[in-house]
Every structure is written in C-alpha cells, then in structure tokens.
C-alpha cells in the first residue's frame, strides 16, 4: 500500500474538481486527483456537451425545413441518426484533451484512476494508495434520479448517461420529467423526426417564470411535442418498443422508448463519509457559506454540495475554495449572480429573483422594466421576434432578470455582471451596443426603465422649457 502525502486531494474529475486541481497546482500546491470514471465528468460525457451537440443537429434540421420565410425553399431534412451520433461523439472528442489525464499530469497533478473512500478525517484510500491530505475537496457530482415508480425497473429506459449512445431514432419517445433536460431533449428529438410526449407531474419548466415558460412550451407544442402536465406517473409497464405509462389521474401514454429525466441525486454513496465526520442532507453534503463540510479539512463543491446543479456554478465554487485553501482568506459562495439557461428554441435564461420571488421579497418597492424582442431590429431581420426581457429592480438596482427568446443564454451574462457587482440600471443604460445586435436588447430594457422618468415627468419638461427660453 503506497502512502501519498499532499496539500490538496480532489475527489472527482468533473468541471469543479478539474478547476480546483488545475488552479491549485499552477499556483504551487501539491495536488492529487482521484477519478474512477471518465475524466470530464457528467458535463463532458453525458450532459452539457452532448446535449448541446444534439440540439445543434436538431436546429440544423429545423432550419432546413423552415427556410421559406427567408426566400429559400423548405426542404424535408434527411436525418441520419448514426451520423448525428457521430457528430455528438466528435464534439466530445474535441473537448476531451482539455479534461484529459495527460493534460493534468503535464500540469503536475498526480492523477489516480480509482474510487476513493475515507479511512480517517484526513486520509482517503484508493486502490493501492492511502492519500493523506492537508485539505480535501469533494466534487463527485450527481447521477440521474430514478424514483421507485411501480414497474419502472421492469422496462428498458434511458437516462442522460445512456441516451447519447443511441444510433437509431426513437419512433415515439416518452419523457418522464418536464424540467430543462426533459424539454431540451423533447425538442431535439422532435426536430430530428421522433414523436415525443413529455409527462410532467406538476408544471413543465416549473422553476422558471411562468410567462417565460409558457412561451417556450407554446413553441414546443407548435412543433408537435405533446406536453402532459399534472400527470404524476403511477405505473410503468411494457417492453422494448411498446412502453406504457399510467398517470395517477388515469391518463395513459404509450410510446416505443422512455427517457427518465426526473432530476439528479448526489453521488455520496461509497465514500465512507462517516469515517471523516462529514454530515449529509437529502440534497447532498452539508456545507457552510464557505463550502466547508462538518469536517474542517474537507470542502464540497458542485452537484454533491446540494446547491445549484450547473457546470458554471461548480466552476465558480472552485474559485471560492481555492481562495480559502491556498491563501487562507475568508471566502463565501454567493448564488444571487449565478445565471441558468434552458437551451430550447426559444431559450429561457434567469439570474437572481424571478418576478414572483421578487414581489414576495420586496413588495411595493419592486419595479419591473420590460422590453419585447419585436422591438429589436436584429431579431426582426432574423425573424426571431418571440420573446422578452424583464428586469426586477429595487431602487434602481436589479435583483433579478428573466430573458426568453433567441440567444437568451448569451444575453443573460451581462446581468450576472450587474448583480455580481451591485450595479445600477443607469450603468447598464450607459453602455453602447453595436447596431444591429441582439445585445441591444439589454440596453433597451434599461431604457424602458428610464423612459417614463424622462418623457413623462413634468419636472423634466419644465427644466427643458426653462433652458430653451432663458439659456442663450
């Protein structure tokens, strides 16, 4: 049994763990990285990357079939499912070197491809190694949640960990779950030629602004996606090619394939956390504001920490713990400026509070500014007029932003900057965006906030009148 002593042990080579390892080793710390699965974690291999690659194929097919509005004849797309899968694999392969064991070893990280479990408060056993670390970072991520629905274990089904291995088109895909993953995959498969039914126990895209979510859902329904809301699954039965889902209210849904997209569960099993005095909750590992666990030597980031389950959130948290571990400086994780996006078409993006949350929190102090996509000239040129941006403000400072429409995921980044730095709407209004771009939308929503104050104010009119009459 080899004993290794190190400054930092990182368990999990997903986005958060890799960020910690790369940052720490390049700043002079000794780093050991454990990963028993695939380097790059869920995002690279089963999540963000393959799903967006599949959505890109679906977008190409959809554009081919809907080109007449631009003076180009519509063409029925000839989709080759195997070639689509090759495209997805190629995109993953292009990113893999950045997350590879070879790259991290070149940086100076000791990479061990074994499962680790705690044997004490500061020691982890992995294969034939015992690693004693001054600080440990848990970044083992999460896995697809598969609830105990009667009959589910007796039928074949996909999760995000198996879906992207398929090389044939599902004839009729049933999707359990109407969250972001479910809705993205619903639209992608519908555009690539499958019939799709989404079965959601509550409200589809239920965590998002209802008005914005409704716009997305209307578009998906118009593309042929069946979305059944309030349909809590009570039983699953059937076999490959003939699957049936019965809802609690008696509705029955039939299809050829099933995707389970009902959320995520943290990967805490098999770590022997009790040996290290690390407490857990239903959401994941219990952490304080600085992402430190109940063992002061151990930190937890990413999905396993039980907070926002986004790649970019894990990357942000990596920076928080690096500051604390390497420099001994107080560092706390914030969430108000962390955006998220659903990459349907149209996209839906959010940062900070939704309008309903802001009204509950701020009451009468809340103001809402809004600008619709149809007022943006670039959106009109590209026939992308469906959508809006709205900003929730208190005393001229944004506390939340919702954008739904073309490139919403790109546009929301500015508002993360605004919330992160507690900026005012006047500072957003002062920016200049090139014309014509979708980026003008952000400036125009700021203008929508100031326009009534300038154009409808009797005081402003009196001042202007005085200047025009009396100032030479």
Residue 141 assigned to a binding site: yes
Q: Which residues of 331-367 are buried (b: 16+ CB within 10 A; e: fewer)?
A: bebeeebbbbbbbbbbbbbbbbbbbeebeeebeeebe
Residue 116 assigned to a binding site: yes
How many other C-beta atoms are found inside a 10 Å radius of the C-beta of residue 129?
Answer: 17
Residue 363 assigned to a binding site: no
Omega cis (within 30) before 346:
yes
Residue 182 assigned to a binding site: yes
Residue 241 assigned to a binding site: no
What is the DSSP secondary-structure string of 346-360? SEEEEEE--HHHHHH
Residue 400 assigned to a binding site: no
With beta carbons less than 8 A apart as the criterion, state whether 129 and 114 touch.
yes
Residue 127 assigned to a binding site: no
Residue 142 assigned to a binding site: yes
With beta carbons less than 8 A apart as the criterion, state whether 54 and 90 touch.
no
Q: Which residues of 27-52 are buried (b: 16+ CB within 10 A; e: fewer)?
A: eebbbbbbbbbbbbbbbbbbbbbbbe
Residue 270 assigned to a binding site: no
Rounded-to-integer distance, Cα 247 and Cα 253, Å = 8
Q: Which residues of 75-112 are buried (b: 16+ CB within 10 A; e: fewer)?
A: eebebebeebbebbeebbeeebeebbeebbeeeebbbb
Q: Which two tokens stand for residue 86?
A: 């090759």
Q: Which two tokens stand for residue 63?
A: 């554009």
Rounded-to-integer distance, Cα 455 and Cα 115, Å = 65
Residue 179 assigned to a binding site: yes
Instruction: Tell me 411's DSSP state.
Output: H
Residue 193 assigned to a binding site: no
Question: What is the strand order of the sheet 226-228 is part of?
Answer: 226-228, 195-199, 172-176, 257-260
Q: Which residues of 447-461 are buried (b: 16+ CB within 10 A; e: fewer)?
A: bbbeeeeeeeeeeee
Rounded-to-integer distance, Cα 96 and Cα 137, Å = 22
Rounded-to-integer distance, Cα 469 and Cα 321, Å = 62
Residue 246 assigned to a binding site: no
Binding residues for FAD: 52, 116, 140-142, 303
Binding residues for NAD(+): 177-184, 200, 263
Binding residues: 52, 116, 140-142, 177-184, 200, 263, 303
């Amino acid at each position: 049994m080899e004993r290794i002593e190190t400054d930092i042990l990182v368990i999990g080579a997903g986005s958060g763990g890799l960020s910690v390892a790369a940052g720490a080793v390049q700043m002079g710390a000794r780093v050991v990285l454990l990963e028993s699965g695939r380097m790059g974690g869920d995002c690279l291999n089963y999540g963000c990357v393959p799903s967006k690659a599949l959505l890109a194929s679906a977008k190409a097919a959809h554009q081919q079939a809907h080109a007449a509005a631009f003076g180009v004849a519509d063409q029925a797309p000839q989709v080759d499912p195997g070639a689509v899968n090759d495209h997805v694999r190629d995109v993953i392969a292009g990113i893999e070197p950045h997350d590879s064991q070879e790259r991290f070893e070149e940086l100076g990280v000791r990479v061990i491809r074994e499962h680790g479990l705690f044997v004490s408060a500061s020691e982890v056993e992995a294969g034939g190694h015992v690693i004693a670390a001054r600080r440990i970072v848990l970044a083992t991520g999460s896995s697809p949640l598969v609830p105990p629905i009667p009959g589910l274990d007796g039928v074949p089904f996909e999760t995000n960990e198996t879906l992207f291995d398929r090389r044939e088109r599902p004839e009729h895909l049933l999707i359990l779950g109407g969250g972001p993953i479910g809705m993205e995959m619903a639209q992608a498969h519908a555009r690539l030629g499958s019939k799709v039914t989404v079965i959601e126990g509550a409200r589809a895209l239920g965590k998002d602004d209802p008005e914005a979510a409704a716009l997305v859902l209307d578009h998906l329904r118009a593309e042929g996606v069946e979305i059944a809301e309030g349909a809590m699954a009570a039983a699953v039965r059937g076999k490959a090619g003939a699957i049936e889902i019965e809802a609690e209210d008696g509705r029955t849904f039939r299809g050829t394939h099933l995707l389970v997209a009902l959320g995520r569960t943290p990967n805490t099993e098999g770590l022997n956390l009790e040996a290290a005095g690390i407490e857990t909750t239903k959401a994941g590992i219990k952490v304080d504001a600085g992402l430190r666990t109940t063992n002061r030597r151990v930190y937890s980031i990413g999905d396993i920490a039980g907070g926002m389950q986004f790649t970019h959130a894990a990357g942000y948290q990596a920076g928080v713990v690096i500051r604390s571990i390497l420099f001994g400086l107080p560092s706390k994780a914030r969430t108000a400026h962390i955006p998220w996006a659903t990459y349907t078409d149209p996209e839906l993006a959010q940062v900070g509070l939704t309008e309903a949350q802001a009204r509950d929190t701020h009451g009468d102090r809340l103001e809402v500014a809004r600008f619709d996509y149809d007022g943006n000239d670039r959106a009109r040129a590209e026939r992308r007029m469906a959508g809006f941006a709205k900003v929730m403000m208190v005393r001229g400072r944004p506390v939340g932003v919702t954008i739904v429409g073309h490139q919403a995921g790109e546009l929301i980044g500015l508002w993360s900057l605004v919330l992160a730095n507690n900026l005012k709407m006047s500072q957003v209004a002062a920016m200049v965006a090139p014309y014509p771009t979708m980026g003008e939308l952000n400036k125009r929503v700021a203008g929508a906030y100031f326009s009534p104050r300038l154009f409808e104010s009797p005081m402003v009119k009196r001042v202007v009148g005085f200047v025009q009459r009396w100032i030479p």
